[in-house]
Structure 1
Amino acid sequence: MTEDWDRPAGSWASSAARRRNMQAIRSRDTKPEQLVRRLVHAQGLRYRVAAKPLPDLRRTADMVFRPAKVAVFIDGCYWHGCPEHYVPPKTNSGYWSEKVARNIARDRDTDAKLMETGWLVLRFWEHQDSAVCAARIADAVRSRLGSIEPEAG
């Protein structure tokens, strides 16, 4: 059975339904991100959402605490290759497996570039307990803020 639809030139979607499904997936403001943000905000900490930690780095962190130099990423299990939950796709597996492998390589590169410039990178999986993630974030930010010496004035 073939579907009768016009696939846009260069489209990766194998069907119209798959295309709609993939387009509906959020790249930011996911439920796990929102929950962690609410919990961190409730602890009195303020941050930037979906911001570039470094202006020259074309990558964004889910939460950025600039004064403390802490970048937080809440990674989706599928898109970032969670060792516990990633299941290779059955359809177009070559494309999607390569895509996830590129995402993992980009994540490691991002971590290295941020750490080289003094940033602390915190990565969590979407399935991790949000309260535990928020507590670790708050502890790290407060610890780093406490270690910043005030400038002599």
Structure 2
Amino acid sequence: MDTFSSAVRSRIMARVRSQRNRSTELKIIEILKRGGLKGWRRNSPLHGKPDFIYPKQRIALFVDGCFWHGCPKCCRMPSAHRKYWVNKIERNKNRDKDVTKALKKKGWKVIRIWEHEISAAKIARKLNILSKYYKT
């Protein structure tokens, strides 16, 4: 059972922002800098608002939160208002698929990283595609 009224919970959830999330994007920035990968940009107006883009290489990188994007490994639905949350997460997953499809149609390579995959080793494997574009 939720400890907040629906009005209070609504205000709390409305304050959740998709930028500058310390548990995701800022960790990725640190890993990218440490790995010497340059050329990425943030806050792009590109469709779907990728967390990072590599404009020259036309790569869009999304860092998906495990709860909000329905990670099959670790997303646990709240027991309160379950129907609402199942529908909400399903809409998010469908939007992710649509965004990926639209960007690929425009010639972008789309990479999605789950929040639980944020470690230097896992990101290095996911971003292996980038190594083709950099001469070391």
TM norm structure 2: 0.82
User: Corresponding residue for 2:29?
Assistant: 37
Counterpart residue number, 2:115: 126
Choose the corresponding residue for 1:27, options 18, 25, 43.
18
How far apart in 1 are the matches of 2:40 and 2:116?
22
Count residues with an aligned counterpart: 131
Check the 8 A contact 1:51/1:64 in 2, yes or no: yes
Aligned equivalent of 1:140: 129
What amino acid sits opposite 2:10 in the alignment? R
Aligned residue for 2:110, secondary structure, equals: strand
2:79 counterpart of 1:86: no
Q: CA deviation at 1:21?
A: 3.3
Structure 1: 5+ residue stretches without partners: 4-12, 147-153
2:45 is aligned to 52
Structure 2 contact 113–123 (Cα < 8 Å) conserved: no
CA RMSD of aligned residues (A): 2.4
Distance in structure 1 (CA, Å) of the matches to 2:126 and 2:25: 13
Structure-2 change in CA distance of 1:37 and 1:80 (3 Å): same
1:113 maps to which residue? 102
Q: Secondary structure at the match of 1:73?
A: strand
Letter in 1 for 2:104: M
Which is greater in Rg?
1
Gaps of 5+ in 2: none
**Residue 112 of structure 1: CA displacement?**
0.8
% identical equivalent positions: 31
Answer whether contact 2:58 2:109 (CA < 8 A) is retained: yes
CA distance, structure 2, for counterparts of residue 131 and residue 14 of structure 1: 39
1:124 deviation in Å? 0.9
Report what 2:90 is aligned to. 101
TM-score, normalised relative to structure 1: 0.73
Distance 1:32 1:114, change over 3 A: same
Secondary structure at 1:78 match in 2: coil
